[in-house]
Structure 1
C-alpha cells in the first residue's frame, strides 16, 4: 500500500509511508519498520522486503533513491558535513531535493526549530547517542534511574516543542519508553528501546549478520559475514593460482591469446629483416 504525494523536489511519487501516515499510527506499536541503506542495492532489497522506512547519510540520498522510489527516506545530517546554521539548512534542502522525506539530527533544539520552521520533517535522536557517548561514559542503556528517566522525559517534551515530528530513541529502557511514548505526540522510532514505539529500527548490517559484533538489541536473520569471508578465501586462492601459472609458464595458453596464420608470421618476419 502506498500513497501518491509530491516530493520536496516537486515530483509526483508514491510512498509506503508519509509523515501523515506515521503520525496517524501514533499509539499503534510496531506499525512500521526501518533499516539503514547507503546503496541502490540495499534500498531495493529493503523495498522488496516490504520495509517502509530507510535512514541514510544525506550525501547518499540520490543513490538510495536509485534503488527505491517507495520507501520513506530519512537523511542523517552529519556533524562534520554541516556545521553552521546555513550549512545545515543547505544540506537539509539538498537532501530533500535529492529525494529524502525527512531529516534526522542530534543537534541543539534551535537547529530543530530552524528546520521545522521551513516545514521540514525533523526527527530527533535521544537516549544513547553514540557520538555523544562520552557524556554517559560507555555504551549502555539510558533511563535506568529515576533522575535519568525524568531528564529523558523532559528532553522528549522539549524536542516536541521545538517542532520535531519524530524521535529515534536508542537504548532507552523499554518500560520507560512505553511511558514516555504514551505521553508524547512524537512518532517514536525504537532502536533497542523495546516494542512500545510506532517504528522498529535495526541496522541492515546487524539484521544480515554482516560483521563480527552483534549488539544486544539486534537479531540476526542472515550471515553475510560468512559469505564475505568465503569470498576472501576464494579471492586469495584464485590470485595464488594465477601467480603460480605465470611462474610456471602455464598462462596464457594458446586459446587465451590472439593468433594469426604461421604464413603471415613468416612473411612479417621477412619484411622486418628486409627493412633492418
Structure 2
C-alpha cells in the first residue's frame, strides 16, 4: 500500500499508483481489472482481491467509501459532453472525487489537453463498441497486417498526445504482444491475449451472468455460474407471487397468524361504543 495525496489533495493510500502501473511494462507481472456496477459487485471485487477497478462517474464517491485504497479509473462516454471545457470540468470533478485516471474516447487534441493538465488519461484501441458503425459491426481487430500497423500507429499517436493507458479490446493477441513493448502506454487487455500489462474482464462475464440469448463474446470466459442463481431467484420469486395470488383469490389470505387482534375484552367495548355512536 502506497501513501499518497489523491488528486483532490487529500492524504490517502493506494494499492497501485500511476508509477506502479507504468513499471509493469517488461516486468512479466500481470494485474487484474474489472468493472463493478454497484455496491454489491464492488464489495465482491475487493474481497476477491481484484487489483484495479474501472467504474462509471456516478459511482466514484461510493467507490471511495467501499474501496478507499483501490486504484479506480473513471471517465465519460463519447457523446456525454460536447465541448472541451465541459470535458475538462468533468475530468477535474472526477479526479477531485477520488478518480485515479480519466477515460475518454475523444480526439487526440482532447487527450493532449487533459494530459497537459496532469490528468492520467486512458483511451481505447481495437474494438470500440461506440464506433462499431465505422468498423462494420462488432468484430475483432488486427487480423491483417495493415490493420495491425494501424493499431500501432494509433497507439503511438496516443502516446505522443500524453495518453497513460488504453483498453485494448478484441485485438489479435500477436499484435498486442508485438506492440506492447514498443510503447510506454499501459495496456489493459480485454479479449486481446496475455500480452497486456493488465488483464481486464467484465464482472458479468467473469461470474457467468450472461444468458445464452445475449451471445457473449468469445473472450467472455465464465469462472462462475451466477446466472444459475439469478434464474433460481426468478423462479422462486414467481412461485411465491403465484402462491400469494392464489391464496388471495381463494379468500385464504391474510392468515390468522398474520393479522392483528384487539386486546382481550376490548372488542366488546368497542362494538358497544360503536352501536351507541351510530
Alignment TM class, shorter chain as reference = over 0.9
CA shift for structure 1 position 249: 2.2
CA contact (8 A) 2:125 2:166 kept: yes
- The corresponding residue for 2:143 is 144
Deviations 1:68-125 (A, max 9, x none): 1122111031123222112111211121122111011111111101111110000110
Question: 1:59 and 1:79 mapped to 2: Cα distance?
Answer: 16
CA contact (8 A) 1:37 1:64 kept: no
CA shift for structure 1 position 56: 1.2
Deviations 1:213-263 (A, max 9, x none): 332112111111111111111111001111111122221122211111352
Aligned length: 275
- The corresponding residue for 2:218 is 216
User: Where does structure 2 lack aligned partners over 5 or more consecutive residues?
Assistant: none
- The corresponding residue for 1:251 is 253
- The corresponding residue for 2:32 is 33
- The corresponding residue for 1:228 is 230
Deviates more, 1:151-160 or 1:11-20: 11-20
Question: 1:272 and 1:32 mapped to 2: Cα distance?
Answer: 74
Map 1:59-98; keep pairs closer than 5 Å: 59-98=58-97
Question: 2:139 and 2:80 mapped to 1: Cα distance?
Answer: 27
Question: 2:28 and 2:133 mapped to 1: Cα distance?
Answer: 31
- The corresponding residue for 2:22 is 23
Map 1:125-140; keep pairs closer than 5 Å: 125-140=124-139
Q: 1:270 aligns with which of 258, 269, 272?
A: 272
**TM-score, normalization by structure 2:** 0.95
Deviates more, 1:195-204 or 1:68-77: 68-77
CA contact (8 A) 1:75 1:103 kept: yes
CA shift for structure 1 position 67: 2.2
CA shift for structure 1 position 188: 1.0
Map 1:102-113; keep pairs closer than 5 Å: 102-113=101-112
**TM-score, normalization by structure 1:** 0.95
Deviations 1:29-63 (A, max 9, x none): 45211101122221221122111111111222122
For the aligned residue pairs, the C-alpha RMSD in angstroms reads: 1.4
CA contact (8 A) 2:32 2:198 kept: yes
CA contact (8 A) 1:53 1:73 kept: yes
